[in-house]
Amino acid sequence: MRSILLALAVIGILTGIEPASAEITYPWCAEYAGGRGGGRNCGFWTYEQCYTAMWGNGGYCDHNPMYRPSPGQISPPAGPRRRPG
């Protein structure tokens, strides 16, 4: 078993495989349960996405303090818009 792991490590080093990076951040966070011990999800591009995900869960949406747009980062395309009613 050790020889297999060693061989995989050597192959990874020689082929230049790098570990995955989790540097993607988004500008909006959903704070569930009103921030009183609930969860936090910072995976939203827009306030509307955040609000829809949070709806009915007793929380609120807030700006993500860790969000730093990358140079050349492309925002997602705009979703469908509601017609004024």
**For each of the chain's 85 residues, which pLDDT tens digit applies?**
777 767 766 666 666 666 555 566 789 999 887 656 778 889 999 999 999 988 887 889 999 988 887 777 666 666 555 555 4
**CA-wise closest residue to 59 among 82, 37, 26:** 37
Q: Is the pTM of this model over 0.75?
A: no
At 50 the three-state DSSP class reads helix
Strand locations in 4-45 (E): 28-31, 40-44
Is 4 a member of any domain? no
Q: What is the domain extent for residue 62? A: 21-68
Is 61 a member of any domain? yes
Is 77 a member of any domain? no
Is 75 a member of any domain? no
Is 38 a member of any domain? yes
What integer pLDDT is reported at residue 33 of this predicted model?
77
Q: How many domains does the chain have?
A: 1
What integer pLDDT is reported at residue 62 of this predicted model?
92
CA-CA distance, 68 to 80, in Å (whole number)? 26
